[in-house]
Amino acid sequence: MRAGDSTMVRSAFHPIARLVTTFYKDEKPAHHVSTIDDFTRAVGTPHEDVFDERIWDVAVDVRDNLASVWMKYAFFLGDDFSHCGVNSFELFVTDEGWKVMHLADTRQKENCEMPPGAG
């Protein structure tokens, strides 16, 4: 994402990957579903600030040809904090290697934990 390279980002995902973001709207649980096309368009569209998602506390569980990956993140636009949450990835092995089939994340702007080393 930092490089704004939509081709590189797309290569990590299976073509039918589904992305779900969860959040609260008017104090009620809400979600937004998007496609890999939506995501790669956002990453690859020229933007002034670098998209900088910093991750930590990564947990990986692999069984056979399925892997689950969970991590905390803080997202910055350039040097400015935007939001935080957790990412949950489901991957499986294809002939081309591991591909993300599903990505779910939470999104919040308050009560955020910052990555180690962040000021």
Residue 1 lies in a domain: no
Residue 111 lies in a domain: no
Instruction: Give the predicted TM-score (pTM) of the model.
Output: 0.88
pLDDT of residue 47: 80
> What CATH number has the domain bearing residue 10?
3.10.450.50
Angle, CA of 110, 40 and 86, to the nearest 5°: 30
Q: Which two tokens stand for residue 104?
A: 């779910």
Residue 112 lies in a domain: no
Residue 96 lies in a domain: yes
pLDDT, tens only, 70-103: 999 999 999 999 999 999 999 999 999 999 999 9
User: In this structure, are residues 59 and 71 in contact, taking their beta carbons and an 8 Å threshold?
Assistant: yes
- With H, G, I as helix, E, B as strand and everything else as coil, classify residue 10: helix
Q: How many domains, the chain?
A: 1
Give the H/E segment covering residue 9.
helix 6-11
Confidence of residue 119 (pLDDT cuts 50, 70, 90): low
User: For 48, phi and psi rounded to 5 degrees?
Assistant: -65, -45
Residue 82 lies in domain: 6-106
pLDDT, tens only, 5-49: 888 888 999 998 999 999 999 999 999 999 998 888 888 887 888
Nearest CA to 61 among 53, 71, 52, 70? 70
